[in-house]
Amino acid sequence: MKIKDSFWIGLLIGAALFALFFLLLSLFHWGPAYKRAPFMLAFIPGIILFRMAMVKWNMEKCGKGILAVTFVGMLLVFFLV
């Protein structure tokens, strides 16, 4: 099955990937000094998927959507958490 190259699909994939990894990382106990750690570590798979979408799969619009979720999410973590 081929995924359509769309910015909106990239946004959904990036958000779903972040949510999945954040839920997995929140199962571990993090000390009070590391309250940002689960958020920041959950963005790493999005960065890897962005690179794969742009270089390996040649899906430029989808990659831009994934990057947008990652970038905006990181800014929100730095300013709100």
Domain boundaries, the chain: 7-80
Please check the confidence at residue 81 and state whether its pLDDT lies above 80.
no
Q: Write out the H or E segment, with its range, that includes residue 61.
A: helix 60-80
pLDDT: is 50 or 31 the higher one?
50
What are the CA-CA distances from residue 43 to residues 1, 2, 4, 30 (Å)?
A: 26, 25, 23, 17
Instruction: Kindly report the pTM of this predicted structure.
Output: 0.84
Q: Which of 77, 1, 68, 66 is nearest to 36 (CA)?
A: 77
Contact by Cβ (8 Å): 10, 64:
yes
Read off the pLDDT of residues 9-34 as tens digits, 9 standing for 90 and up: 999 999 999 999 999 988 888 888 78
pLDDT: is 3 or 20 the higher one?
20
Please check the confidence at residue 73 and state whether its pLDDT lies above 70.
yes
